Amino acid sequence: MCSFHGVVGSLDDGKLHHVTEKLVAFEYVKPNTPSRPHSLVFVGGLGDGLGTVPYLKTLSAAVANTQWSLFSLILNSSYEMWGMGRLGRDVEDIAQGVEYITKYKKSLLPDQAPKIVVMGHSTGSQDVLHYLYSPNPLPIDPIFDEGLLHIHRPALDGAIMQAPASDREGLLEKFHDKGKGAEQDGVYLQLVDMAKRVTYAEGNTHDVLLPLSLTSKLGFPPVPLSARRFLSLVSPDSPENPEEDDVFSSDLTDKRLDETFGMIVTRNLLKTKLLVLYSGDDEYVPKSLDKEKLLQRWKKAADKSFQKIWDDEYSGVVPGASHNLGGDGQDQARRNLAARVTGYLANVEKSA
């Protein structure tokens, strides 16, 4: 795992920590604030970085008078690097961040027992689920193992998934909303064929980038996108054979849910409950989707074993919430979200 590096900078609204040489975390804490023993570690979605998710200010204010401090962990796949990323690398980044923050809090308050919760937004939710259900450490990938350290991930006191939307369903929905279904379907099929034929190069030692001229026609931003990550996000053989990133689609089989949500208890990486917060007006989710029904399917899969891990008290659909709760008219949704999160954190704090 990582070694302890310490605080390397401070800003008016917090402190910047170097977890490793390239992995950093920003702690939202005012100067001269007494040290707090517990930590909420936030992980953003595709394209996110420091301060890009609007509700973090609301969340930071909500925990200001608690025993929790808020950290924003900036992964190696943050900003424009998501197209070259993978969930396995993300969860190892998170594991290093958890280890660092735990050591940091123990150095400040050696007599306390620090608790740590990881909260993922959007694809950050995929990271949280992948962290909890995957083998620990991650097994060696015989096809493409580049970048993985195969470190042992520490258990979390709590885990939160916010806006766990399906990239595959969101992409297809975007085609039809813009009335360019036929044209974009053609580009989509061309990219899928290309990606499957040239997924890797030079004996599987390098990723192959897809042409920006084609990926941009599907609505992807102009960033490097590997054939491997493209196939993982769009998962063309789903629902029968879903790719790594396809864990939240509404048409996935019960077997797939048993392999993801259903494996959380078995991995023993979650000490309390799983909080799931679905945005009621998520613009990346098909309008026809029954969100409550989908959450019940996930809950059923997660709670199948002897230990019930779904947080019934605070999980659910956040009324009126957009994907990242940004923009006008989202104040009530942000307050609702913050209340659910702080209520959940209070329960984690009281847990043995």
Same domain, yes or no: 226 and 259? no
- Per-residue pLDDT of the chain in tens (352 residues, 90 and over written 9): 333 344 444 455 799 999 999 999 999 998 889 999 999 999 999 999 999 999 999 999 999 999 999 999 999 999 999 999 999 999 999 999 999 999 999 999 999 999 999 999 999 999 999 999 999 999 998 888 888 999 999 999 999 999 999 999 988 777 665 555 677 888 999 999 999 988 777 777 788 999 999 999 998 999 999 999 999 999 999 999 999 999 999 999 999 999 999 999 999 999 999 999 999 999 999 999 999 999 999 999 999 877 899 999 999 999 999 999 998 999 999 999 999 999 999 999 999 7
Same domain, yes or no: 114 and 126? yes
The last residue of a domain, from among 177, 207, 234: 234
Same domain, yes or no: 134 and 207? no
Same domain, yes or no: 181 and 45? no
Residue 210, domain extent: 169-234
* 246 within some domain: no
For residue 264, the 8-state DSSP code is H
**pLDDT value of position 4:** 35
Same domain, yes or no: 46 and 119? yes
Contact between 267 and 155 under an 8 Å Cβ cutoff? The reply is no
Same domain, yes or no: 321 and 195? no
* 33 within some domain: yes
Separation between Cα atoms, residue 314 and residue 330, nearest integer Å: 19
Same domain, yes or no: 48 and 160? yes
Q: What is the C-alpha radius of gyration for the chain, rounded to an integer number of angstroms?
A: 20
Task: State the DSSP H helix or E strand holding residue 335, giving kind and residue range, or none if neither.
Answer: helix 331-350
Same domain, yes or no: 45 and 26? yes
Separation between Cα atoms, residue 97 and residue 70, nearest integer Å: 13
Same domain, yes or no: 269 and 195? no
- Please tell me the total count of domains within the chain: 2
Global pTM reads 0.95
* CB-count exposure of residue 335 (10 Å: 0-12, 13-18, 19+): middle
Helix, strand, coil share (%) of the chain residues, nearest 5: 40, 15, 45
Same domain, yes or no: 206 and 323? no
Same domain, yes or no: 208 and 328? no
Separation between Cα atoms, residue 22 and residue 8, nearest integer Å: 12
- Per residue in 214-237, is it b (16+ CB within 10 Å) or e — as a string? bbebbebeebebbbbbbbbbbbbe
**pLDDT value of position 303:** 97
Contact between 6 and 21 under an 8 Å Cβ cutoff? The reply is no
* 43 within some domain: yes
For residue 265, the 8-state DSSP code is H
* Strands 158-162 and 274-279, sheet pairing: parallel
Contact between 118 and 160 under an 8 Å Cβ cutoff? The reply is yes
Q: Which of 72, 152, 165 is nearest to 119 (CA)?
A: 72
* 240 within some domain: no
* CB-count exposure of residue 293 (10 Å: 0-12, 13-18, 19+): exposed
Same domain, yes or no: 335 and 211? no
**pLDDT value of position 12:** 59
The last residue of a domain, from among 183, 204, 234: 234
* 2 within some domain: no
**pLDDT value of position 181:** 61
